[in-house]
Amino acid sequence: MKQLVIALLLLTACTVSRRTEGYACSTSADCENGRACESNWCVVATCPADCTTCDTTLKTCQIACASMSRCGSISCPMGWSCSITCTGNNACGNITCASGSTCAVTCSGSRSCGTLDCDAACKCDQTCSTTDACDPSQCPVAGSIQCTSDGVAGSPCVSARNAGCTKC
């Protein structure tokens, strides 16, 4: 008899809905701070893996890497705006800015940034403090114009070079 009661209690517990209508939403603006609207429910928002800090509502991500804690390869997710700072020798590996993202990358220190690939990004800007701070970059092309600091493929990316360098 005791086993039957336990089985019934367990079966009943599985049918309880834990969702509260107070967490229903249409957009993230309907949610409290620190929550985002996903599948019409306010859930605790989490930063993308490579972000040091972020704002999930605005989809902004700050990535800070220092030579003491080499970050390895870094990705700015699709639709996010990322500010990436690589400080010190060999701080960051390769950096990818996904389609629909915007990236501002600052590299200071010898080989502080690996290859930057932001060919698919909406907007991409890279600052290299020294000539050996950045590996060659893959930047967008606007018509026949390279969106780089000097118009040459492989140079640091600059979205202000031509109106077509900002895609979104």
| Residue-range domain boundaries for the chain | 21-165
Q: What is the pLDDT of residue 59?
A: 94
Q: Which residues of the chain have pLDDT under 50?
A: 5, 8, 16
Alpha helices in the chain (DSSP H): 2-13
3-state secondary structure of 78: coil
Q: What is the pLDDT of residue 1?
A: 59
- Which tens digit of pLDDT belongs to each residue from 32-60? 877 777 788 888 878 998 999 999 889 99
Residues 6+ apart with CB under 8 A from 32: 42
DSSP character at residue 14:
T
45 bridge partner residues: none
Residue with tokens 């500010």: 83
3-state secondary structure of 97: strand
